[in-house]
């Protein structure tokens, strides 16, 4: 045991700063990537009620599985339900149940943690099995434990809501779904072991405008919940056990940054027009309708990307209903004003939503996800489209929402989706339900295949949205969340720049609007290239808008075109970085960074 009163020396850990600003707060350790499992130390008098909570959840899970078995028997015959029967037997297994209850008792643990610990031990045993087929059955254990944890998180939230105000989340890495559990009024920052500039934690931090440092190796083993720490998201520094002098320094720095923020707010009404008079649309990327408040603060030209799958990750029981979706989209449409909002249909895959009757996927990133899943499960897609079409309606006849199809690799996917949309519209007319007509349908360009067929796609799409993060990953075959190779992730790679140019040319040639919605749109040097390549419609995390507005107002588009022309002739990422570092001071402002964190 460490003596809690022992005085620690100040300790600095360097990581990658991914959202600017200083936070001083108390550490809150989160132990699993979904952010649902936190380790608590329960007081003795709470142990028995925790065990009752666990038992109750097992009952609920059994009922759920029994109902699923009945449904499956009816639909597919008795033979197909056997996997679920194995799940049921796992839930009824007294041995495992007792191990979990003992764990709760002996460790004063919460049920989530006990389930995680016991099942990971079981999985280790499974991993030793040599027969491939039998070893794979470990996935049954994973499935069942996830079901239990999901139900637990929907009952009483022993999760992020347990933390005090002013919490800095410390985790290995965070999945997008964690955003659903976060109370933005209580969290003031993030630090993770893993991740880079474009990892999910980073995107989420920027969308909530909270200081964050990622790639701070071993941070989870160095910090304990409740300790005071400082994070500087501008430099990527984390300070543990800060001395009084350090605390004073950062308190003053935070004060100065808040002044700058007030300055940005004051300038938000200034038009985003280049010195040679070209208007640039600066829109907001948002994940939660709650963020609307943040984006209005920066005067965004509507929402360029609304990631609708967060509705799913937020829901406690399965997919959101048509009515739930309608209400969220309606709110989005109303708050976005005349510029409207682009709703990207669910980008869900096997890691989040597993369709009954399909194999568990080893590599969900290249699996049945996004538009593929929507077309494979048209009922889910139809429900979403109905909700969007209904919510898009406005008195003046102009739809306030647009539909964006993610992860398109094939023109047929666009055609099929359009057919479904047309059918849904016809149904709404027949049913006499108010809805918007002629809602634009756009295609997300984020896969190399879509780049190469951009012109054909452009002839059948109403607009393009360029997702530079996934496109960079796909073009370079790099997983940006994998620290071993994340340094190879680089939107300034000549292949990525040329792909973007190709898409831009296709959009200009066919006359459809093109919006850029990846992280590139919030990086000053990269924005200059985007503008120079002909893009005038950018969507970004709301907190980046003031900086990009200053940049746009400071440059000449003609000069940006020259810079882009020259950059496109370079052959290595390093040359591009060096070139931009040289050019940036000439662009008239103090925007020096070329991008890589």
Partner 1 sequence: MRQTELHITNRLGLHARAAARLVRLANQFQSQIWLARTEVGHQPADAKSIFGVLLLAASQGTLVRITVEGPDEEQALLSISRLIEEKFGED
Catalytic (active-site) positions: 200, 517
What distance lies between CA 22 and its chain's CA centroid? Answer: 22
- Sort strands 237-240 and 228-232 into parallel, antiparallel or unpaired: antiparallel
Q: Which residue in 57, 160, 163, 146 sits closest to 104, CA to CA?
A: 57
We find the least distance from the C-beta atom of residue 120 to partner 1, in angstroms, to be 14
- Asked whether the beta carbons of 111 and 104 are under 8 A apart, the reply is yes
Residues sharing a CB contact under 8 Å with residue 412, sequence separation 6 or more, in sequence order: none
Distance CA 227, CA 167 (A): 10
Of the two residues 125 and 449, which places its CB atom closer to partner 1 in the complex? 125
- Asked whether the beta carbons of 563 and 529 are under 8 A apart, the reply is yes
Other Cβ atoms within 10 Å of 459 Cβ, number: 12
Classify 167 as helix, strand or coil. Answer: strand
- Sort strands 212-214 and 187-192 into parallel, antiparallel or unpaired: parallel
We find the least distance from the C-beta atom of residue 103 to partner 1, in angstroms, to be 15
We find the least distance from the C-beta atom of residue 90 to partner 1, in angstroms, to be 5
Half-sphere exposure at residue 196, Cβ-oriented, CA atoms within 13 angstroms: 20
Read off φ and ψ for residue 369, nearest 5 degrees: -135, 170
Of the two residues 129 and 495, which places its CB atom closer to partner 1 in the complex? 129
Of the two residues 9 and 131, which places its CB atom closer to partner 1 in the complex? 131
Distance CA 197, CA 597 (A): 6
Half-sphere exposure at residue 512, Cβ-oriented, CA atoms within 13 angstroms: 24
Distance CA 86, CA 496 (A): 47
Of the two residues 84 and 421, which places its CB atom closer to partner 1 in the complex? 84
Of the two residues 86 and 420, which places its CB atom closer to partner 1 in the complex? 86
Residues sharing a CB contact under 8 Å with residue 124, sequence separation 6 or more, in sequence order: none
We find the least distance from the C-beta atom of residue 392 to partner 1, in angstroms, to be 46
We find the least distance from the C-beta atom of residue 352 to partner 1, in angstroms, to be 24
Of the two residues 139 and 323, which places its CB atom closer to partner 1 in the complex? 139
We find the least distance from the C-beta atom of residue 140 to partner 1, in angstroms, to be 6
Distance CA 525, CA 528 (A): 5
DSSP state of 595: S
Distance CA 59, CA 268 (A): 54
Distance CA 539, CA 206 (A): 13
- Tokens representing residue 541 in the block: 């995390």
We find the least distance from the C-beta atom of residue 131 to partner 1, in angstroms, to be 4
We find the least distance from the C-beta atom of residue 77 to partner 1, in angstroms, to be 14
Of the two residues 226 and 357, which places its CB atom closer to partner 1 in the complex? 357
Of the two residues 358 and 398, which places its CB atom closer to partner 1 in the complex? 358
Angle at 360 between CA 382 and CA 489, to 5 degrees: 85
The DSSP element (H or E) to which 350 belongs, if any, is: none
DSSP 397-455: S--SEEEEE-S---HHHHHHHHHHHHHHHHHHHHHT----SS--EEEEE-SHHHHHTHH
> Please, which residues bridge with residue 402 across strands?
342
We find the least distance from the C-beta atom of residue 130 to partner 1, in angstroms, to be 7
Where do contacts with partner 1 occur on this chain (CB under 8 A)? 82-83, 85-86, 89-90, 92-96, 122, 125-126, 129-131, 133-135, 137, 140-141
Of the two residues 95 and 432, which places its CB atom closer to partner 1 in the complex? 95
In 241-336 the beta strands, taken as DSSP E runs, fall at 281-286, 303-307
- Asked whether the beta carbons of 314 and 375 are under 8 A apart, the reply is no
């Amino acid at each position: 045991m460490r003596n809690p009163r022992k005085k620690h020396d100040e300790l600095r850990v360097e990581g990658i700063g991914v959202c600017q600003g200083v936070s001083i707060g108390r550490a809150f350790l989160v132990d699993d990537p979904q952010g649902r499992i936190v380790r608590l130390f329960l007081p003795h008098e709470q142990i028995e009620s925790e065990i009752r909570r666990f038992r109750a959840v097992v009952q609920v899970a059994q009922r759920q599985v029994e109902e699923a078995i009945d449904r499956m028997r009816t639909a597919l015959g008795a033979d197909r339900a056997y996997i679920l029967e194995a799940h049921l037997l796992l839930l009824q297994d007294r041995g495992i149940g007792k191990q979990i209850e003992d764990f709760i008792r002996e460790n004063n643990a919460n049920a989530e943690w006990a389930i995680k610990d016991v099942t990971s031990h079981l999985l280790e045993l499974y991993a030793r099995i040599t027969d491939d087929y039998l070893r794979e059955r470990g996935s049954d254990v994973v499935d069942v434990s996830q079901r239990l944890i999901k139900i637990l998180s929907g009952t009483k939230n022993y999760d992020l809501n347990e933390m005090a105000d002013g919490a800095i989340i410390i985790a290995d890495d965070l999945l997008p779904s964690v955003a659903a559990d976060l109370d933005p009024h209580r969290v003031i920052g993030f630090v993770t072991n893993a991740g880079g500039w474009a990892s999910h934690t980073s995107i989420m931090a920027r969308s909530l405008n909270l200081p964050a440092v990622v790639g701070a190796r071993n941070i989870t083993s160095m910090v304990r919940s409740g300790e005071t720490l400082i994070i500087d998201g501008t430099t990527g520094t984390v300070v543990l056990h800060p001395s009084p002098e350090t605390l004073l320094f950062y308190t003053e720095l935070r004060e100065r940054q808040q002044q700058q923020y007030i300055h940005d707010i004051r300038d938000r009404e200034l038009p985003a027009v280049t010195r040679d008079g070209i208007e640039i649309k600066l829109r907001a990327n948002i994940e939660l309708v709650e963020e609307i408040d943040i984006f209005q603060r920066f005067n965004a030209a509507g929402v360029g990307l609304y990631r609708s799958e967060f509705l799913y990750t937020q829901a406690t029981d399965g997919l959101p209903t048509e009515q739930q979706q309608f209400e969220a989209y309606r709110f989005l449409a109303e708050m976005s004003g005349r510029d409207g909002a682009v709703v990207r249909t669910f980008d869900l895959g096997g890691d989040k939503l597993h369709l009954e009757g399909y194999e568990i996927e080893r590599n969900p990133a290249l699996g049945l996800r996004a538009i593929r899943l929507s077309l494979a499960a048209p009922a889910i897609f139809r429900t979403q489209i109905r909700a969007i079409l209904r919510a898009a309606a406005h008195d003046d006849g102009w739809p306030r929402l647009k539909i964006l199809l993610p992860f398109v690799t094939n023109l047929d996917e666009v055609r099929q989706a359009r057919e479904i949309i047309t059918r849904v519209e016809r149904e709404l007319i027949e049913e006499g339900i108010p809805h918007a007509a002629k809602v634009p349908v756009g295609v997300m360009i984020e896969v190399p295949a879509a780049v190469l067929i951009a012109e054909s796609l452009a002839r059948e799409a109403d607009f393009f949205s360029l997702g530079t993060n996934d496109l960079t990953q796909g073009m370079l075959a790099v997983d940006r969340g994998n620290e071993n190779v994340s340094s190879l992730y680089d939107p300034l790679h000549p292949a990525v720049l040329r792909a973007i140019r190709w898409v831009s040319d296709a959009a200009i040639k066919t006359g459809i609007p093109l919006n850029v919605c990846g992280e590139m749109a919030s990086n000053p040097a990269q924005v200059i290239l985007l503008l120079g390549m002909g893009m005038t419609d950018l969507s970004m995390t709301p907190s980046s808008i003031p900086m990009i507005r200053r940049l746009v107002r400071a440059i000449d588009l003609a000069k940006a075109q020259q810079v882009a022309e020259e950059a496109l002739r370079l052959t290595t990422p390093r040359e591009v970085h060096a070139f931009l570092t040289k050019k940036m001071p000439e662009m008239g402002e103090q925007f020096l960074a070329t991008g890589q964190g």
